[in-house]
Amino acid sequence: MTYERGTIDAALAAVAGDEPAVIQDLRIAFVDSATRALEAMHMAQGGAEWREAALRLKGLAASVNALPLMTLAGQAADMDEADPALLERIGEVVARL
């Protein structure tokens, strides 16, 4: 997902300036955080935990303008229980980060 990568890098550059090493470190931290939020969604036991993890992922995605991920996480946060199909789609997006 080249466009997504470019969008994220642009958002990180706005924070870090023209420092490629800092942008790379921030990107790694973002992907790690998104992966942990996705894992929390997988492990959620009940609607409240599912929504909390989805909202965490949505906020992370919003912080770097990752719109497709933010949209999917927002859909998940609006649900009362885990949705395996949506979780798989989110996982695919996270894997491409």
pLDDT of residue 53: 96
Share of the chain above pLDDT 90, in %: 67
Choose the weakest-confidence range: 10-19, 29-38, 74-83, 87-96: 10-19
- How far apart, in whole angstroms, are the C-alpha atoms of residue 72 and residue 94? 11
| pLDDT of 22 strictly over 70 | yes
| pLDDT of 13 strictly over 80 | yes
Q: Which amino acid is present at 77?
A: A
**Residue closest to 44 by CA, chosen among 53, 35, 36:** 53
Query: Is 8 or 92 the better-scoring residue by pLDDT?
Result: 92
* Model confidence, pTM: 0.86
